[in-house]
Amino acid sequence: MADRYLSFTGTAPGRFLTRRLGLPQPAELRRWSSASDEFEGGVLLLTAGKSQLSGLEFASPVGAPAGVLLDATGVRDVEDLAEVHAALHPVVRTVAASGRVVVLGSPLSSVDHHQAAAQQALEGFTRSLGKEIGRGRTVNLVRLTDASAAESTLRFLLSPKSAYVSGQVIEVGAPVQDTEVDWSLPLAGRTALVTGGARGIGAAVAETLARDGARVVVLDVPGAAADAERLAERLGGRALTLDVTAADAGERIAEAVPEGLDVLVHNAGITRDRRLVNMPAERWSSVLDVNLASVLRTTDALLEAGALRRGGRIVATASIAGLAGNAGQTNYGASKAGVVGLVRSLAPRALSGHGVTVNAVAPGFIETRMTAAVPLFIREAGRRMNSLAQGGLPIDVAETTSWLAHPASGAVNGQVVRVCGQSLLGA
């Protein structure tokens, strides 16, 4: 369903009226397209404190910068935080519309509480700046120790692909392995499976992975077989129909993809909303079974069978409902919070034992057929209650998933990245 408010605020009368009434003024977001795959204007590189990094190189901006990258890895005390203000205060207004601000920080020290306090302060600074910067611009914090491990993450956050990702804190670990990457087709030669892939967000994920070079297996329930077949044929992939809640779903996936998987995207999910006092047991168990238990079972089975090749990627779909809670969704919130627990626990073991990373995307209000059916006032609240004052699109979730699936994203592990325009709900 079209966002008529967003369209209205793009007109002269709309801008005048919303400004006078103090209403949200969303800016149309610039997203990736084949004709416009990167920002023009270059990246302004700034430093606060004594830099802990080397090797950061970007094209210098000409005119208004499309992005600002602040290296704050050397910020170690309150006095150094003054340099954060001094660096960004003069340039924030100059960042182009739909531009990007990325702050680089360091992991919090367990032995230097001054450094930990100063680095944690960057989180509050980044999230606050994201809520005030406006004009479709985003602000994110990346904590890292080695710049050589951050290229895929910085390429994503400083590109049109991250249009609906803001106010996030992403930790990037040490480089896992040297990987030669064709940045135009980073998933070439890799096989990806997307559950719930026939429609909606799952279809957008499948299309984006295929665009980036992957051979895609579109998995969905038998009732969606026709949609799955059509999409798979269009993408040059294949369809697989089965019920992910079946006890043998993992084994059947492994048999259907004997060459093994490089990317596993757990996207299948359902809602059965009702307040807890009115929720029968079936509504509870069906949501937990599809959204969480099936993810646990199939992941365990595929890892045990060695069906995920070394260098593989698991990306699960969480939700801000699992992070912040939502009335009428105790079942859904529990299932999506469970996905977060799975990611944080499994990630280090999957990497050390199988060479596989495990991450999650947590969508906020995304414009789909499901949200189009939400009552008007609730739908408008969902759209406006974020720093970008609008709903996201399925492609926003798909772009984030593809970045996490990237062969050069091996240093990103155990992360839960919200694709929510910096929703006002939750952390």
* Cα separations in angstroms, 287 against 17, 271, 374: 43, 6, 19
Query: For 241-329, where are the alpha helices, taking DSSP H only?
Result: 249-256, 281-288, 294-304, 320-324
**Residues with catalytic annotation?**
332
| Contact present, 138 and 165 (Cβ < 8 Å) | yes
| Structure tokens, 24 | 């949200």
DSSP track, 236-256: T-EEEE--TTSTTHHHHHHHH
Strand extents, DSSP E, 145-204: 169-172, 191-195
Picking from 83, 61, 59, the residue whose alpha carbon sits closest to that of residue 72 is 83
Query: For 3-112, where are the alpha helices, taking DSSP H only?
Result: 4-9, 12-21, 78-88
Rg (CA), the chain: 21
| Contact present, 98 and 27 (Cβ < 8 Å) | yes
Handedness of CA 107, 170, 354, 319 (dihedral sign): positive
| Contact present, 36 and 424 (Cβ < 8 Å) | no
In the numeric block, the tokens 């209000």 are attached to 365
Query: Residue 182 forms beta bridges with which residues?
Result: none
Q: Which amino acid, 280?
A: P
What distance separates the 2 farthest-apart alpha carbons in the chain? 62
CA distance 66 to 38: 10
Q: Which residues contact 383 (CB under 8 A, 6 or more apart)?
A: 3, 5, 6, 365, 389, 390, 391
